[in-house]
Structure 1
Amino acid sequence: MAKQTYDESSFRVLKGLEPVRERPGMYTETSSPTHILQEVIDNAADEALAGHARNIHVKLHADGSASVTDDGRGIPVGLHPEEKIPVAVLAFTRLHAGGKFDKKAGNSAYAFSGGLHGVGVAVTNALSTRIEVEIRRDGKIHTLGFADGGEQVSPIDIVGEAGKQSGTRVRIWPDAKYFDSAKFNLATLERALRSKAVLLSGVAVQLDIEQADGSIASKSWHYADGIRGYLADLAGDAEPIAPLFSAERHVTEDGDYAIGEGAAWVLGWYAEGAPASESYVNLIPTSLGGTHESGLRAGVFEAVKSFAEHHALLPRGVKMQQDDVCGRMAFILSVRLLDPQFQGQIKEKLNSREAVKLVSGIVRDMLENWLNGHVEHGKAIAELAIRQALARQKSAQKIEKKKSSGVAVLPGKLSDCESEDIGENELFLVEGDSAGGSAKQGRDREIQAILPLRGKVQNAFEIDANQLYANREIHDIAVALGVEPHAPDAPDAVLANLRYGKLIIMADADVDGSHIQTLLLTLFYRHFPKLIDNGHVWIAQPPLYRVDVAAQGKGKPAKRLYALDDGELEAIQERLAKEKVAPNHIEVGRFKGLGEMNPQQLRETSMDPATRRMLRVTQRPGADEETRRMFSLLMAKGESGNRRTWMEQKGSAVEADL
């Protein structure tokens, strides 16, 4: 094997749009070019959301390209005052350039848009072989072009008179080498366009598909009743048990939230066959939900619970939970946020913590008023939730009988949860007593249990199953779970007495924490493999940094942000700089471990389902032998020589926080 050099020439600096082409999966969905087309569509939708466009037209051409046309203001073509480059060129060639920054300073072209990533159509350009842009603005028709993965190949030319017309037309030719399939996902595209029509009142949305024979197949969308009519269409023949409840409220005065922030929603409860729910943030579909959905469910739960208690509907001994109320509920939720924070560039999940309080507050107030103004409908909804609660408690009683029939005594240091619902219950294995104390105070006592671990668990890779319980930590983990050690080919019945649906490893974000994670994963892989096979094992991702931003005057309250690593910290600092936040108003703190977090911080970052980040532990299909070989190399006592060789060869690839 040739010896590799490591010197100054080993470093490579990626410039312009190179990072996108090097790692396209970090910036977009690579199964098809649908998402890079949606970036262009979202720009047209932002023009409509801002009140400047009334028509959005998408065309799929027979040659594999696609075009998006709107009748908005048209991208500015003049020189940027600082960069001295045409703004239209910046939009397509710079990852962090756009008209969606400086919102609070009043310098943004859009008060509400799909986030502050600032990489949208630049990613589209980077992953396309060619892009043609036509801009109608200030009475002129302007054109420019890009090719070869983002390079400008034609200057901005004036090619005609536009009269009073304005707008932008962008045609893209995706580069097939970056995608698993070169074809656009028609179902995803139609769903996205339909949602724009639903959420943009008065805007016409049309899709044209050019056929091989030159003919055009067209579809258009229009919903006279907005999201209410949309949910009714999704439900089809399914009838709600009460009339659909739709409402809308946005902030009108400066305070905790910016003027214009708020939500519109429609709710429906179904005894059988509820349609799938959908949520959006500034017109962006959030298929994985997020904090706005958590806020909606919290507000709905509190409103229905308050109504049931006020009207004395709850039977004695019945304790209503959120899933009892929301389990048979379908909703369409559209939220407007000034500065939405998403998980990842494709924006499938909202992470903005303030959205929980914003949405839950306005939904609770308006739904509670509606329920008390329509008592019969309110009772129907509450009674459906009560039936769900009774069914859940009946199921829990069966589990309790099974559990109480055993002889094992739960470990004394376990802080157990109150619920017996295995699907909801979570057990956190927490590194250290200090962090365990914070976790106990910050947990949801209803569904979250805490088991502190003192020190590192024994390496169980070569321990015989009959000798496992000689180790106190392993004994306590097994007894708390209610599962006995078993072989990989054991039936799923070995999990019959499992007490928690999620087993969450929560260790410090440092080398020692990673070691503890490895020892616990070794234990579960070697002696409790069915926990991994059935998706019960998770790893919490506590952040390394906390960023406190001081209040910026009226309407700009203080906020706290968290960064998982140095990369996220840099991105947050860059975004705050774009927002013109003064450096002396920003304080960055580093967590040395979980024990440094107070209960509220630990709950926000690692325990609250609405805001935490976790990774599910799975085994890649077909990789059984490779996984077994790697565990043996890393954890077996007789592999020290091979382990040293492997570390010498692979050590440079490790990013350790020492």
Structure 2
Amino acid sequence: MATRTPPVYSEASIRVLKGLEPVQQRPGMYTSTVNPLHVIQEVIDNSADEALAGHARHITLTQHADGSTSVQDDGRGIPIGLHPEEGVPVVELVFTRLHAGGKFDKLDAGAAYRFSGGLHGVGVSVTNALATRLEVEVHRDGQAATLAFAHGAPVEPLQTRPLTRGEWKTGTRVRTWPDAKYFDGVQLPQAELLHLLRSKAVLLPGLEVSLLQEKTGETQTWRFDEGLRGYLHEALGDTPVLVEFEGEGHAGSQTEGFAAGEGAAWCVAFSSEGNVLRESYVNLIPTPAGGTHESGLREGLFQAVKGFIELHALCPKGVKLLPEDVFSRASFVLSAKVLDPQFQGQMKERLNSRDAVRLVSGFVRPALELWMSQHVEQGKALAELVIAQAQSRQRAAQKVEKRKGSGMAVLPGKLTDCESRDVARNEVFLVEGDSAGGSAKMGRDKQFQAVLPLRGKVLNAWEVERDRLFANQEIHDIAVAIGLDPHGPNDVVDFAQLRYGKVCILSDADVDGSHIQVLLLTLFFRHFPQLVARRHVHVARPPLFRVDAPARGKKPATKLYALDEGELTAILDRLRKDGVREGAWSVSRFKGLGEMSAEQLWETTLNPDTRRLMPVHLGQVGETATTELFVQLMGKGEAQARRNLMEAYGDQIEVDV
């Protein structure tokens, strides 16, 4: 068997990449390889930098029939003379050398570009490196200069000629054929290209940006004299805007910590519904991943709105405001100007300059504070929106989920389930207290009857947020036992998960028992309305009195049960008619379900043949009237309404004390 010779690692193993080889070896480090949009954007950004510097008023992008793309501007034109140190035409250096450009000396007052998106002199050299061919034409100083490259290397040297009458006087035109081997596809995404071109016009009011399709001759042109406001209105469309705030601020020569001209322009629109639009730019470069300039806008908006709310004492007790409460319903277009921006990655999707937070917030906060003091009613409308967002956030944070284990809801330990899986026949009794629960468990028919004891009185759930219901153990256990989550009248409810066809409320026949009934009915009507509408909810009626009647004639001694005083009177009258002498019977009053034996509870309340089980439904009263009555009886702010009710009908009620 032949032995394998190990690879040799020596001085000759080290390779030095020269010129544009690093880009061609690892294109993903310099640009997106999904499609060539970013390498075209590098050319557009150079033209936009000329416009930002005040030297270009027109930018035209042409998509040619042969698949190439050209970008032309009417700026100053790339210098075409020899570089004093390199001895090579400057225009050639720009396209063939990494880190060669005119945007390094920004601190110099006489710099060619004080503000620009270009940072490292890498942009268009990447475009050239990843193209099968790239052609450059420069008009300046009365001359037209042309040169061409193939796969990043010059193939047609710089040639110059005098400009002729009718030609464009100054500017640069770059035409490129992206190399398909570096990209997943060479087609430019049209929607993203249109957005990019339009944004340049938005950010520089008065700049005219055009897109020409050579195949069809179709031309689109953008010019936004209104700038950010016009663009934001167009983008939001029919979304109703509650408050709109526009402004800009730039550092002067005496501004401490920032260079003259640094600052931002913004337009912010707050809406209570609909989608939000968020776009930010630095020196005309789109930053889809945001960054520190967006953080500055966020901080400035928050501090201004928070100060206004505190000044006017608008915040309810217990509500704590956070920046996200202000920012969550804000649509904005932000354009920052930063002298020496630091981006994350060559694609410049996110700004990392730390000072940009202080820069933007320092202009936004005082501007919004002044605006709100001048527009108090609109300021209060914005404050209400922000407070509502804070309350919604706090409710969401307090949301309590159903406790689960092994991927499914765990049945409450207190539930004594039935054996049958026939939902139509199965019943669950919600029983007041462990004592009554014990009797019910022993007296039930375990084949189809389940028992869930409840500890004390359940929570008044009328004004409890649905997301907070499961914080209450009893309500959590009820929901898990019956198999349905709380819902609204119009929600989609999966009744295939229902575990019992009858949900029966079983409480004492006294005033306390009636109160428990009302609390459970409140829960079901408010948070399980479809369970009520389908008539799954019932109320069991246990007796309040037991009558021990002696034998009479052929009738043996019997035990009779009465639900209330009226039934007791009727039973005694019937005994008298049967000839039982007065006082020969004995009447006992149940203090609660716990006093009943299992046999008595089965006979009076659980046995389907002898029990009184009342189905719960709206009847003729209707949903609106029922809701109004529940509000009156169970609402926290309805004490006076309940007092009026007691004063009006109190004399008609026999209080069982």
Q: Report the TM-score range of the alignment, normalised by the length of the smaller protein.
A: 0.5 to 0.7
Q: 2: distance between equivalents of 1:127 and 1:363?
A: 41
Q: In structure 2, what residue type is equivalent to 1:62?
A: A
Please give the per-residue CA displacement for 1:409-438, whole angstroms capped at 9, x wherever unaligned.
Answer: xxxxxxxxxxxxxxxxxxxxxxxxxxxxxx
Residue 167, structure 1, aligned to residue 190, structure 2? no
Contact 1:115/1:340 (8 A) holds in 2:
no
Partner secondary structure for residue 342 of structure 1: coil
The corresponding residue for 1:179 is 183
The corresponding residue for 2:350 is 349
Q: 2: distance between equivalents of 1:288 and 1:391?
A: 26
User: What is the CA distance between 1:117 and its match in structure 2?
Assistant: 2.2
Distance change >3 Å, CA 100–CA 162, structure 1 → 2: farther
Residue 46, structure 1, aligned to residue 49, structure 2? yes
User: What is the CA distance between 1:107 and its match in structure 2?
Assistant: 5.2
Contact 2:46/2:118 (8 A) holds in 1:
no
Q: 2: distance between equivalents of 1:129 and 1:96?
A: 21
Residue 252, structure 1, aligned to residue 252, structure 2? yes
Residue 89, structure 1, aligned to residue 113, structure 2? no
Q: In structure 1, what residue type is equivalent to 2:313?
A: A
Q: 2: distance between equivalents of 1:135 and 1:397?
A: 64
Q: 1: distance between equivalents of 2:179 and 2:258?
A: 42
Q: 2: distance between equivalents of 1:47 and 1:264?
A: 19
Q: Based on CA coordinates, which of the two structures has the bigger radius of gyration?
A: 2
Contact 1:115/1:341 (8 A) holds in 2:
no
Partner secondary structure for residue 9 of structure 1: helix
Residue 117, structure 1, aligned to residue 123, structure 2? no
User: What is the CA distance between 1:400 and its match in structure 2?
Assistant: 10
Q: How does 1:318-329 map to 2 (within 5 A)?
A: 318-329=319-330
Q: In structure 2, what residue type is equivalent to 1:251?
A: A
Residue 129, structure 1, aligned to residue 132, structure 2? yes
Partner secondary structure for residue 309 of structure 1: helix
The corresponding residue for 1:208 is 212
Q: 2: distance between equivalents of 1:396 and 1:58?
A: 50
Quick one: higher RCO (CA 8 Å, sep 6+), 1 or 2?
1
Contact 1:33/1:183 (8 A) holds in 2:
yes
Residue 192, structure 1, aligned to residue 196, structure 2? yes
Q: In structure 1, what residue type is equivalent to 2:11?
A: E
The corresponding residue for 1:540 is none
Distance change >3 Å, CA 275–CA 222, structure 1 → 2: farther
The corresponding residue for 2:81 is 78
The corresponding residue for 1:302 is 303
Q: In structure 2, what residue type is equivalent to 1:161?
A: L
Q: How does 1:167-566 map to 2 (within 5 A)?
A: 167-211=171-215, 215-242=216-243, 244-254=244-254, 255-399=256-400
Q: In structure 1, what residue type is equivalent to 2:330?
A: M
Q: 1: distance between equivalents of 2:330 and 2:120?
A: 32
Q: In structure 2, what residue type is equivalent to 1:284?
A: I
User: What is the CA distance between 1:155 and its match in structure 2?
Assistant: 1.7
Contact 2:101/2:120 (8 A) holds in 1:
no
| Count of matched residue pairs | 398
Query: Which runs of 5 or more residues in structure 1 are unaligned?
Result: 404-658
Query: Which runs of 5 or more residues in structure 2 are unaligned?
Result: 405-657
User: What is the CA distance between 1:318 and its match in structure 2?
Assistant: 1.0
Contact 2:290/2:351 (8 A) holds in 1:
yes
Contact 2:293/2:357 (8 A) holds in 1:
yes
Q: In structure 2, what residue type is equivalent to 1:9?
A: A
User: What is the CA distance between 1:109 and its match in structure 2?
Assistant: 1.2
Deviates more, 1:149-158 or 1:189-198: 149-158
Q: 1: distance between equivalents of 2:343 and 2:298?
A: 19
Q: What percent of counterpart residues are identical?
A: 59
Q: 1: distance between equivalents of 2:389 and 2:330?
A: 12
Partner secondary structure for residue 399 of structure 2: helix
Please give the per-residue CA displacement for 1:164-183, whole angstroms capped at 9, x wherever unaligned.
Answer: 81111110011010000011
Q: 2: distance between equivalents of 1:200 and 1:349?
A: 21
The corresponding residue for 2:107 is 104
Distance change >3 Å, CA 228–CA 11, structure 1 → 2: same
Q: 1: distance between equivalents of 2:278 and 2:240?
A: 15
Partner secondary structure for residue 391 of structure 1: helix
User: What is the CA distance between 1:97 and its match in structure 2?
Assistant: 0.7
Please give the per-residue CA displacement for 1:481-540, whole angstroms capped at 9, x wherever unaligned.
Answer: xxxxxxxxxxxxxxxxxxxxxxxxxxxxxxxxxxxxxxxxxxxxxxxxxxxxxxxxxxxx
> TM-score scaled by structure 2?
0.59
Q: In structure 2, what residue type is equivalent to 1:195?
A: S
Contact 1:103/1:110 (8 A) holds in 2:
yes
The corresponding residue for 1:569 is none
User: What is the CA distance between 1:25 and its match in structure 2?
Assistant: 0.4
Please give the per-residue CA displacement for 1:364-418, whole angstroms capped at 9, x wherever unaligned.
Answer: 1101110111001111111001011111222233349989xxxxxxxxxxxxxxx
Q: In structure 2, what residue type is equivalent to 1:201?
A: P
User: What is the CA distance between 1:203 and its match in structure 2?
Assistant: 0.9
> TM-score scaled by structure 1?
0.59
Distance change >3 Å, CA 241–CA 40, structure 1 → 2: same
C-alpha RMSD over aligned residues:
1.6
Partner secondary structure for residue 211 of structure 2: strand
The corresponding residue for 1:592 is none
Please give the per-residue CA displacement for 1:68-94, whole angstroms capped at 9, x wherever unaligned.
Answer: 010111110111122221111111011
User: What is the CA distance between 1:152 and its match in structure 2?
Assistant: 0.9
Distance change >3 Å, CA 158–CA 375, structure 1 → 2: same
The corresponding residue for 1:150 is 152
Contact 1:136/1:162 (8 A) holds in 2:
no
Partner secondary structure for residue 146 of structure 1: strand
Deviates more, 1:394-403 or 1:222-231: 394-403
Q: In structure 1, what residue type is equivalent to 2:17?
A: L
Q: 2: distance between equivalents of 1:66 and 1:216?
A: 14
Contact 1:234/1:275 (8 A) holds in 2:
no
User: What is the CA distance between 1:116 and its match in structure 2?
Assistant: 1.3
